Chains A and B, each alone.
Chain A
Amino acid sequence: MQKILELKRLKKHYPILGGVLRKKISSVRALDGIDLDIYRGECLGVVGESGCGKTTAGKTIIRLHTPTNGSVYYYPEGRGPEGRMDIASTKISALKRLGIRSKLQMVFQDPTTSLNPRMLAKHIIAEPIKVQENVGGRELEGRIIGLLQLVGMTRDHLLRYPHEFSGGQRQRIAVARAIATNPEFIVLDEPTSALDVSVQAQILNLLKSLQEKLNLTYLFVTHHLLVVKYISDRTAVMYLGKIVELGKTRDIFSRPIHPYTHALLSGIPIPDVEHKQHRIILTGDVPSPVNPPQGCRFHTRCAFSVDRCRMEDPDLAEVENGRSVACHRQHEMEKLVSDRFG
């Protein structure tokens, strides 16, 4: 498989300013060293609790935020590994000139706030096209109608304001805007969490069909594990700014390795009464990302932590083909969990 993006030791720290001179006194380590390869045509799900850096990861990858450290390599289509370029260190103007911005797009969480209430649907969708290309008049209108039809809407919706649409339709417009510039890669930041269950299914199916039609690559950021299970091919589990487990979605759900993944999966309320699962209840809360715990970040809530976990931060290491886990006791974990929780 061909890579589209490669993250190397990506870090994003938000400064906390204080004192009279507004100096930087500390920082929120939202992303603290992420290594990740994203392959062309896949849907990579990113899950984790709030504050674990999922959204920051999405925004930093497409350079809405400038990373503090590390690099994001982008492999343009049909150019091979030699044509790769580091998005993290390229100037924004250069990104625009080279047309990379148009290849990387984003759909935001809440369509009510991500669409300008004073713009017509037509202008909302036209905006990214106009920035990139010099088109206008009938040609532009034709393209907008084509995009609307692609997301399951009609030309009647062209001349309406966002407040005239329902939540699901608004999210469709947001998707249409994201695909307007023929992107290769789209970050979907909780695209369904503001929607109702029945509408959520519509949007998920729309995203799936668009991915096939337009050959898109998705980074699907969400806290809803069952949605990730449904839509993504691979899943990355994040905890406090780091990836703790990465692998094929099917493998992760059937055989989790990292203790945090175990707890996360056992915590999902399953809409099925026959399904009785033993629940692993984690004690306490997620520590603050301002001063994360020493050693493994999960050790404060982990039932299996040993001395080594408190001292040494585990690296994301490959366990088997396409499966990586960051845990010192990864090889014995399966046995430990089954002994403890049955």
Chain B
Amino acid sequence: MSKLVELVDIVTNFYTYEGTVKALNRVSLTIEHGSSFGLVGESGCGKSVTARSIMRVVQEPGRIEGGSVLVYLDETDETKMIDLMKQSEDYMVDLRGNKISMIFQEPNAALNPIMSVGEQVAESFLFHRKQELCKKVLSELNSPDCKTIYPLRKLLQSIYMAADENPDSFGLKLMSKIPVLKWWRRRMKQEALKQSAEIISKLGIPNPAEVVKLYPHNLSGGMKQRIVIAIALACNPVLLIADEATSNLDVTIQAQILELLRELKQKEISSILLITHDLGVVAETCDRVGVMYAGNLCEVADVKDLFSHPRHPYTRALLDSVPKLSQEGELKSIEGNVPNLVTPPPGCRFHPRCPYRKGICSVELPELRNVGKNHQAACHVLPE
């Protein structure tokens, strides 16, 4: 399989009053075309910051301080890669929601309460797919059964012809700002709404033509999450980042959404980066898993490998501390707490809680190294 996104030594810091929070400490990982990569860890370990760093949307007071995000959009040609860290903001704006899109954690916060859900899905078409929309509207205007009166049709045709050539031209932008004149966009919006109804129906929402007119408060949690997914999927992204997409949902709704993601994975999108704290979700939906702890990636492996032969002490402890269906006897817990990232422990950040620690652990930060086929772990000791 070929690479799609490669993170190399990403460092992201947050500059707070209490000091510098070293949220990501040289994280490197690779997501392949057609795979679903799961990122697990406890809260505050840097999962979401990793996702936000890929999109370059780290909030204030955070800053990406180093490293590179290499994106291989062309599956066949590995040399045609783009380093997102070196691109302009304009390029990123064009990329977000188009080639790489993201589902945010809380659907209530991700949706705008004063826009109908149809408009919100249509926004991504209007932003990234202007030319296609213009072509559609033009073909509609040119068709013989167009009912618009002749002079108006002629006018609209000329405007849309100009828009088709260069949708960002100054004249059109100016026209979109002036009342009355901005009505030329109406047909484009209607077309976008039509397309959003289509994408909403694909996500298994009954009666899409009615649903697009509703507002977020009219919908239930599961439906809202579907709308958020629809927004993310609107432009057929190559990578979908799902940041805790199911954490706030009930078990039965979570099962629906996971099933949906799995179906979409087969049909629509090539790769998913699934961020979650729930090991069960990862076991069921992902091919590859990365385990994060306190801003470091400590183990990367195929899902079967990771659950059957975890190598890093933290992964083992984490797997042991989750109650299982076949749980007998006492649940093992990890002693202590997650460290404060303003003053992380020296060396391996897990060593104060690690039962296998040695002298070197508190001195030197271990690097990810191969411990098996497609299996890397960052540990000095690697207990058997």
Contact = CB atoms under 8 A, between A and B. Distances in A.
A126 B319 CA distance: 37
A141 B194 CA distance: 69
B324 A226 contact: yes
B46 to A, nearest CB: 14
A119 B325 CA distance: 40
A191 B379 CA distance: 33
Interface stretch (B90-98, B130-138, B145-153, B246-254): B246-254
A116 B255 CA distance: 37
Nearest to B338: A196
A126 B318 CA distance: 35
Contact of A225 (B42, B251, B282, B304): B251
B207 interface: no
Given A264-B252, A285-B222, A271 B338 contact: no
Contact of B250 (A223, A229, A253, A274): A223
A200 B223 CA distance: 30
A274 B325 CA distance: 13
A202 B321 CA distance: 9
Nearest to A228: B323
B277 interface: yes
Contact of A205 (B253, B280, B333, B338): B333
A169 B259 CA distance: 37
Interface string B221-236: 1110000000000000
A205 B321 CA distance: 10
A21 interface: no
A154 interface: no
B332 A201 contact: yes
A49 B323 contact: no
Given A49-B251, A198-B317, A279-B255, A270 B283 contact: yes
A101 B341 CA distance: 42
A27 to B, nearest CB: 20
A282 B252 contact: yes
A281 B255 CA distance: 7
A218 to B, nearest CB: 16
Given A279-B259, A281-B255, A198 B324 contact: no
Nearest to A198: B334
Interface in A34-57: 49-50
B252 A229 contact: no
A296 B130 CA distance: 50
Contact of B325 (A197, A264, A270): A270
Interface string B167-180: 00000000000000
Interface string A265-288: 011111111110001011001100
B284 interface: yes
Contact of B323 (A196, A199, A229, A286): A229
Contacts of A266: 255
A146 to B, nearest CB: 23
A270 B280 contact: yes
Instruction: Name the residue in B251, B255, B303 with the highest tally of chain A Cβ atoms < 10 Å from its Cβ.
Output: B251
Nearest to A266: B255
Contact of A196 (B42, B221, B319, B324): B42
B316 to A, nearest CB: 12
Given A271-B279, A273-B303, A285-B223, A226 B252 contact: no
B143 interface: no
Given A49-B252, A272-B283, A272-B324, A205 B42 contact: no
Contact of A267 (B251, B323, B327, B333): B251
A197 B321 contact: yes
B252 A263 contact: yes
A270 B325 CA distance: 8
Given A196-B43, A269-B281, A281 B323 contact: no
A229 B327 contact: yes
B307 interface: yes
Contacts of B221: 285
Contact of B307 (A50, A169, A226, A273): A273
B308 interface: yes
Given A227-B323, A272-B283, A272-B324, A197 B252 contact: no
Given A205-B331, A271-B307, A285-B223, A196 B250 contact: no
Most chain A C-beta atoms within 10 Å of own C-beta, residue among B258, B325, B332 = B325
B259 A230 contact: no
Interface in B209-224: 220-223
B266 interface: no
Contacts of A202: 333-334
Interface string A44-75: 00000110000000000000000000000000
Contacts of B278: 269, 271
Contact of B284 (A204, A269, A281, A282): A269
Interface in A157-196: 166, 168-169, 196
A8 B374 CA distance: 59
A50 B280 contact: no
A223 B247 CA distance: 12
A230 B330 CA distance: 9
Nearest to B43: A196
A282 B279 CA distance: 22
A225 B324 CA distance: 10
Given A166-B338, A201-B321, A275-B283, 4 more contacts: A263-B255, A264-B251, A274-B307, A282-B252
Interface of B: 42-43, 220-223, 250-256, 258-259, 277-284, 303-304, 307-308, 317-319, 321-325, 327, 330-334, 337-338
8 contacts: A198-B321, A199-B333, A205-B333, A267-B255, A270-B325, A271-B278, A272-B324, A285-B220
Interface of A: 49-50, 166, 168-169, 196-202, 204-205, 223, 225-227, 229-230, 253, 263-264, 266-275, 279, 281-282, 285-286
